[in-house]
Amino acid sequence: MLAKRRLTFKLMFCLASAPMFILLVPSLLHLKPNPLIHKPAFHQTTSASLRLRSEKITLPLRPAGSGDAPNVPLNRCDPDQALLKVFMYDLPPEFHFGLLHWKGGPNQTWPDVTDPNRIPSYSGGLNIQHSVEYWLTLDLLSSAAPHASRPCTATRVANAGEADVVFVPFFSSMSYNKCHKFRARGEQVCADKLLQRRLVAFLEGRDEWRRRNGGDHLIAAHHPNSMSEARARLSSAMFVLADFGRYPAEIANIDKDVIAPYKHFVESTPAAESAPFDKRPTLLYFQGKINRKEGGAIRLQLYHMLKDEPDVHFKFGTARGKGGRLAAQGMASSKFCLSVAGDTPSSNRLFDAIASHCVPVIVSDEIKLPFEDQLNYAEFSLRVGAGDALKEGHILNLLRRIKRDEWTRMWERLKRVGRYFVYEFPSRRGDAVEMIWREVRLRASSSSRGISKSYWYASS
């Protein structure tokens, strides 16, 4: 009797399981590997070199419940239609999203960019200003995803031989900032230089690098102190930088490299809410760190010249706490915003001013500006040489001669160009990500030779 009951139970279990198996089979048959995403198997050797095996893995590229997608989704960027074809190395997470404390599944190299809730945030407060490599990497990952809503400016390709450029997804600025934080706490453990050495060993061992000696490679090093260990060895590559302040010309220059904007701290002012000339009572605004090194020493000199002027706001401040919000309010109620060199020729205040529609007054002799091949800064900003800026009364006399109509023309232009300096995901047509890809295309095609900016120095 007991044996019969066991047999009956087994028979009922099999009959109940059969429909579930039938339902699962079609789903299993639809699972296909994504040819653009590989399983990176890096091994650290005693020489800190890297080796890569090309074992493929599958990451989720469709949101749950979206149904079966065709092999070539209608919204996916066609590489033949893209302005720029980009091959991206599958470096392990410790070089990119792992620095943001992201942990994927077993053998998972990249986060699922089809689900915004699963994309790791770029952490660190002030660190966000140098996050360009984060946005470029996300954009390339999304170019391979079905139904991605983004411009078809740059697209990721699986074959390096088909690519215009080879992108190296190393979050170098975050790597430096994390190392700097360790040192500030008195800790000795810092992986930044080790990562740079491993990256150099990896690249120099790749056929893709040796093919053109790295001349078609793209590396973001936006923080002025990032990639200090590797920049000389990798100088044949195209860099994405904030400025050239800490680079000799043989390593970085305007002919081969791209200057990208900082990610601004203040929120962009909607055009409809931007205050006009008569509702901006402050003539000139600056709030930030006043004592700086190297070319930024001019800040202290200008502070003593301008701090007591009745229509000038020139004070010390930081972006921490309420400082960022107060600075945003101050710039939004000022006609002109002073952008002075910091420790290097560039400063995030230029991009905060643009986001606030406050006409920038740029005081920096050595600065190279983002997208100068595509934008005429004379239409929405003023530039004053450091020598002229230190002449008594020069800056204020210059600004007070600019009447409502002239200022309004620059203000209207600021409202139109502000979108070119916005980093976002997914990227949009005409935002900072797309503008950077266009600059990369110009450099890759060797059609850009840099332009003279003497025509837009403001005259007294």
pLDDT (mean) for 352-378? 94
Of residues 58 and 446, the one with the higher pLDDT is 446
What's residue 185's pLDDT?
Answer: 54
What's residue 47's pLDDT?
Answer: 30
Q: Which domains does the chain have, with CATH numbers?
A: 79-263+427-448 (no CATH), 277-418 (3.40.50.2000)
What's residue 33's pLDDT?
Answer: 36
128: pLDDT strictly greater than 60: yes
320: pLDDT strictly greater than 90: no
Lowest mean pLDDT among 161-175, 307-321, 445-459: 445-459
Radius of gyration (C-alpha) of the chain in whole angstroms: 26
Non-local CB neighbours of 199 within 8 Å, separated by 6+ positions: 50, 91, 95, 168, 170, 230
C-alpha–C-alpha distance, residues 92 and 112, integer Å: 15
C-alpha–C-alpha distance, residues 324 and 429, integer Å: 28
319: pLDDT strictly greater than 80: no
What's residue 189's pLDDT?
Answer: 57
5: pLDDT strictly greater than 70: no
pLDDT (mean) for 266-280? 94
Mean pLDDT for the chain?
80
C-alpha–C-alpha distance, residues 439 and 106, integer Å: 37
Confidence of residue 456 (pLDDT cuts 50, 70, 90): very low
What's residue 131's pLDDT?
Answer: 96
C-alpha–C-alpha distance, residues 330 and 358, integer Å: 10
pLDDT by residue (tens digit) across 8-50?
444 444 444 444 443 333 333 333 333 333 333 333 332 333 3
- 135 dihedral zone (left: phi>0; alpha: psi -120 to 50; beta): alpha
C-alpha–C-alpha distance, residues 328 and 287, integer Å: 10
pLDDT by residue (tens digit) across 278-304?
999 999 999 988 876 555 578 889 999
pLDDT by residue (tens digit) across 383-408?
999 999 999 999 999 999 999 999 99
What's residue 46's pLDDT?
Answer: 27
Of residues 297 and 313, the one with the higher pLDDT is 313
pLDDT (mean) for 314-320? 76
Q: What tokens appear for 1 in the block?
A: 């009797």
226: pLDDT strictly greater than 90: yes
Confidence of residue 345 (pLDDT cuts 50, 70, 90): confident
Q: Among 227, 224, 205, 288, which Cα is nearest to 262's?
A: 224
Helix 192-204 with 172-184: angle, nearest 10 deg: 150
